[in-house]
């Protein structure tokens, strides 16, 4: 679905109004990525602090996409700080991107969340857009200004990396 | 879009765009057709609208969002570069006459460096020091956050630690600094009052303690003090 972003630009940024309008989706994103309500509230604040600090970098377009990208980066940093080893449902890992697509969405998101802290930021942004926002590869490519081949390769390498955890490891969550 | 979208052909991002009025007229019309077609999607949207309303009531925008954003550092400091260059030349050219270090030196005060660490649950983070006259605080703290002050330097002086808000201050601690690295014996745990606060630390000679205390209690920041400013958000 197309958005207003392509046709209109926000005349100016009013972050207080944006907080009321976009705060709930940002908080929801943080909750889904962190699975920790208190931490999600901290990251909501962190997101808007970063948005305030870097508001001159906003170049128009979808404010939602801009804020969610900031939130994703803040969550990614937080996930890195509390890096955990990923564990797949029933100890099985998907062999391909298509196989992961067949998983129940809640299980898939849990799996992806635990793996995010073990990847790089660009891959994390791609994976979040794919498995949390449910965007198509070309939508992800447009939003992140990457080509579709790169998106596909990143998703594949993300899963390949997951398979390196396919052995019982000390400290993994039960 | 992926086959696995929960409300296919509507994606999760479409839902967010719909709820934040970012869909254009055509996309919005298509979305509303899907709302008619999928009762589960309509129920989900109703839930989300309730969440949005609750969010708006429970989470007022933080005060710092109304502040002028900080300019990039090169815009703030470029004009000082010649002055820094001159100062560097003077420092190189003149024999040192100060005590050195990263701390603050001022008439009647001691040279020291101080850090404030905030403990929230099992997380620790540093509270950046700020100038007393800077705009509204950029840091949000909350009830239950525990603040601990660590001091380096200033041995032989008296430390005064005060909490100021609304033009008044309370001296929380007066202690002689008897070792190069000194830590506050017990943390300051924030209460549930909402608003802006300022933590002030100053080291001074014993003879100046009375004057400094009165200044701190009157909401003033003595020369040579270090300050940390923050806003306290409602729970």
pLDDT band at A7 (very low <50, low <70, confident <90, very high): very low
- Asked if residue A87 has pLDDT above 90, the reply is no
* Conformational region of residue B10, where left means phi above 0, alpha means psi within -120 to 50, and beta covers everything else: beta
Helix (H) or strand (E) holding B34: helix B25-37
- Using CB atoms, pick whichever of B22, B55, B72 lies closest to residue A3: B22
pLDDT of amino acid A73: 93
Interface test with B, best of A134, A138, A155 (most B CBs within 10 A): A134
- Rounded to whole angstroms, the Cα distance separating B110 from B9 reads 68
Q: Count Cα atoms within 13 angstroms, Cβ side, for A154.
A: 23
Structure tokens at B21: 């009025």
Q: Is the ipTM of this complex over 0.90?
A: no
Which residues are registered as beta bridge partners of A79? none
CB pairs under 8 A between A and B: 120
Q: What is the pLDDT of residues B167-203, one digit of tens each?
A: 888 888 888 888 777 777 777 888 877 778 888 888 8
| Residue A170 vs residue B57, higher pLDDT | B57
10 Å Cβ neighbour count for B118?
Answer: 21
- Interior/surface letters B194-211, b for 16+ CB within 10 angstroms, e for the rest: eeebbbbbbbbeeebbee
Least confident piece of the model among A89-98, A124-133, B117-126 = A89-98
Q: What is the pLDDT of residues A100-146, one digit of tens each?
A: 887 878 888 888 887 888 888 999 999 999 999 989 999 999 999 99
Helix (H) or strand (E) holding A109: helix A105-116
- Rounded to whole angstroms, the Cα distance separating A161 from A120 reads 11
Mean pLDDT of B218-223: 83
10 Å Cβ neighbour count for A2?
Answer: 13
Cβ separation B51–A3 shorter than 8 A? no
- Using CB atoms, pick whichever of A5, A62, A134 lies closest to residue B2: A134
Cα separations in angstroms, A67 against A63, A79, B64, B127:
6, 18, 17, 24
End-to-end, the C-alpha distance of chain B in Å comes to 39
Q: Tokens 């969610």 correspond to what residue? A: A68
To the nearest whole percent, how much of chain A has pLDDT over 70? 79
Structure tokens at A157: 């390498």
Contact residues, chain B, for A148 at CB < 8 Å: none
Contact residues, chain B, for A53 at CB < 8 Å: 69-70, 138
Structure tokens at A76: 């990614």
- Asked if residue A35 has pLDDT above 80, the reply is yes
Cβ separation A135–B1 shorter than 8 A? yes
Contact residues, chain A, for B49 at CB < 8 Å: none
- Asked if residue B24 has pLDDT above 60, the reply is yes
- DSSP conformational letter for B221: -
Interface residue ranges in chain B relative to chain A, Cβ cutoff 8 Å: 1-6, 10-14, 16-17, 19-24, 26-27, 30-31, 48, 51-52, 55-56, 59, 61-62, 64-67, 69-72, 120-121, 138, 140, 233
- Asked if residue A149 has pLDDT above 80, the reply is yes
Q: What is the pTM of this model?
A: 0.53
- Asked if residue A8 has pLDDT above 70, the reply is no
- Using CB atoms, pick whichever of A3, A23, A25 lies closest to residue B59: A23
């Amino acid at each position: 679905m197309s958005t207003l972003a392509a046709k209109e630009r926000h005349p100016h940024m009013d972050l207080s109004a944006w907080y009321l309008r976009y705060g709930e989706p940002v908080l929801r994103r943080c909750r889904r990525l962190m699975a920790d309500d208190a931490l999600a509230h901290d990251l909501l604040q962190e997101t808007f602090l970063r948005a305030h600090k870097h508001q001159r970098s906003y170049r128009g377009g979808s404010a939602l996409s801009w804020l969610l990208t900031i939130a994703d980066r803040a969550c990614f940093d937080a996930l890195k700080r509390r890096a955990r080893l990923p564990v797949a449902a029933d100890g099985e890992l998907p062999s391909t991107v298509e196989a992961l697509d067949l998983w129940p969405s809640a299980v898939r998101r849990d799996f992806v969340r635990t793996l995010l802290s073990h990847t790089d930021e660009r891959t994390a942004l791609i994976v979040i857009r794919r498995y949390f926002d449910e965007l198509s590869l070309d939508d992800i490519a447009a939003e992140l200004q990457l080509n579709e081949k790169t998106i596909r390769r990143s998703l594949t390498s993300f899963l390949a990396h997951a398979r390196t955890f396919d052995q019982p490891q000390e400290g993994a969550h039960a | 879009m992926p086959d696995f979208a929960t409300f296919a052909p509507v994606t999760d991002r479409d839902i967010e765009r719909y709820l934040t009025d970012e869909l254009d007229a055509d996309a919005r019309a298509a979305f509303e057709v899907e709302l008619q077609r999928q009762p589960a999607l309509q129920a989900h949207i109703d839930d989300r609208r309730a969440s949005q309303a609750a969010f708006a009531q429970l989470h007022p925008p933080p005060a710092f969002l109304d502040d002028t954003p900080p300019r990039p550092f090169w815009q703030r400091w470029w004009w000082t570069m010649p002055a820094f260059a001159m100062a560097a030349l003077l420092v190189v050219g003149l024999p040192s006459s100060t005590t050195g270090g990263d701390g603050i030196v001022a008439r009647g005060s001691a040279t020291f460096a101080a850090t404030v660490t905030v403990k929230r649950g099992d997380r620790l983070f540093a509270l950046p020091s700020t100038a007393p006259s800077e705009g509204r605080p950029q840091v949000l703290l909350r009830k239950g956050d525990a603040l601990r002050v660590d001091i380096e330097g200033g041995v032989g002086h008296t430390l005064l630690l005060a909490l100021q808000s609304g033009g008044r201050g309370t001296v929380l601690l007066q202690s002689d600094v008897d070792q190069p690295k000194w830590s506050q014996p017990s943390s300051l745990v924030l209460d549930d009052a909402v608003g802006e606060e300022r933590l002030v630390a100053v080291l001074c000679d014993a003879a100046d303690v009375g004057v400094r205390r009165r200044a701190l209690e009157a909401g003033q920041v003595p020369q040579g003090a270090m300050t940390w400013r923050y806003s306290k958000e409602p729970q």
